[in-house]
Chain A
């Protein structure tokens, strides 16, 4: 065995995908036309697998702010905030996040991934415990790996299992960080946050919620699941990303605890990477305002989700447990058939994400579809027609 031999199976799997003519995990977007359309493989397709929930990536005000920032502040920051200083816009965005959530402390990171690494690698130390929902995102698992804390999983969305595990921890429950997500990225289901907050309070544990997919999507003001469930004052750390509803790149955390501000001096994923580029920060500042005032965008997003979800249901598709803008169409265990279905959808002008185990919550493959406020009802109907055709051809549709 050499250093490189272990990659042989992966290389062979890639070769097999190449035989298919297109690799679903390495698609080339030749030209992006709008938040909902692109040219992929020489073909115009409707994008129904992005995280562009509010459709803000091409918003003229976001673009104008980004252009201005590039012209005035340059393309990159060339270093971390600890070494190279804080740009005024980074601080302004932190103030705006704090105001938006009505929390005293806020930090922005260069990615949502890094926000999770920063919090989880630094906050819980040796002798502490991280208690995560089993379906948490890879960035949460990776943050746990970087931490010296003990890491325990509880069954997905199972409050009784969480309760049981906190009980087993006895005194250590008070040095435990419970981690859940607002909307889970693969199945689109939400955490039972009220019950979770109640349980963690009973044991004196702390709660962190990753609102990556729920920011701008849930809650009257778009603050996410904690707002929608009325438990914002019981959440200790809210993390999120600019890369979905805000249409840029970056991450953030807000908290009532001053410790969050102190993490700037301790969290390696904050210190040892360059701060976000001026354009990212500038467009995110505008997008956050649009999101806050985005009641109409949210209404459109949910109307679109409902139209697509009900259409797929009428086709007899197996869907996730709950209506949300993240809509998984659950396929079978056969990778070959799933690949064929995905490819035929693409050939029909529909781009969705193909997800295979172990990235799925169970042993089945799924098509992760997602809706945007920017989709038109006509686009959704086109999507449904293509799904109907492909699923019928595979005997997967209801008659």
Chain B
């Protein structure tokens, strides 16, 4: 089982590859605002992330996901439930 820290660093690495000109990305980076992505691009990014972690992120949880850290926690939780 991956730890939260492992999930987070894997997620950060994935985002850096997918959004190369995003600048500095860390746990507190906001997905919509700071990454320079509109909501549609965030949706596409999420699909890539889902493939990477082999997990489906339900739309219902997205209102609670603002930062990269929120997303990592959600993925970590979903992987544990699987």
Residues of chain A having any CB pair with chain B under 8 Å = 134, 144, 150-153, 155, 164-165, 168-170, 357-358, 362-363
Contact = CB atoms under 8 A, between A and B. Distances in A.
Contacts of B43: 134, 153
Contacts of B82: 168, 170
Contact of B56 (A144, A165, A357): A165
Given A168-B54, A168-B82, A144 B59 contact: yes
Q: Top 4 nearest A-B pairs by Cβ distance?
A: A151-B59, A150-B58, A152-B56, A165-B56
Contacts, number: 28
A363 B40 contact: yes
Interface in B2-58: 38-40, 43, 47, 54-58
Contact of B40 (A144, A150, A358): A358
A215 B40 CA distance: 30
Most buried by B among A144, A153, A169, A358: A153
14 contacts: A150-B58, A151-B58, A151-B59, A151-B60, A152-B56, A152-B59, A153-B43, A153-B59, A168-B55, A168-B82, A169-B56, A357-B40, A358-B40, A362-B40
A152 B58 contact: yes
Contacts of A134: 43
Nearest to A131: B56
A394 to B, nearest CB: 25
B56 A168 contact: yes
Contact of A358 (B39, B56, B59): B39
A167 to B, nearest CB: 9
Given A168-B55, A168-B82, A150 B39 contact: no
Nearest to A151: B59
A33 B18 CA distance: 52
Nearest to A132: B59
Interface of B: 38-40, 43, 47, 54-60, 82
B54 A150 contact: no
B48 to A, nearest CB: 11
Contacts of A165: 56
A358 B58 CA distance: 20
A interface, by DSSP: helix, strand, loop or mixed? mixed
A278 to B, nearest CB: 39
Given A151-B60, A168-B82, A362-B40, 5 more contacts: A144-B59, A150-B60, A151-B59, A152-B59, A155-B47
Contacts of B56: 152, 165, 168-169
A178 to B, nearest CB: 13
A170 B55 CA distance: 12
Nearest to A129: B58
Contacts of A358: 39-40
Nearest to A147: B60
A136 to B, nearest CB: 11
A357 B41 CA distance: 12
Contacts of B55: 168
A357 B38 CA distance: 11
Contacts of B57: 152
Nearest to B57: A152
Nearest to A362: B40
Nearest to B61: A150
A134 B44 CA distance: 10
Nearest to B78: A168
Contacts of A152: 56-59
B80 to A, nearest CB: 14
A81 B58 CA distance: 35
Nearest to A165: B56
Nearest to A158: B47
A170 B43 CA distance: 24
A158 to B, nearest CB: 10
B54 to A, nearest CB: 7
B71 to A, nearest CB: 16
Nearest to B82: A168
Contacts of B60: 150-151
Nearest to A153: B59
A335 to B, nearest CB: 14
Contacts of A155: 47
A228 to B, nearest CB: 29
A152 B67 CA distance: 20
A358 B38 CA distance: 10
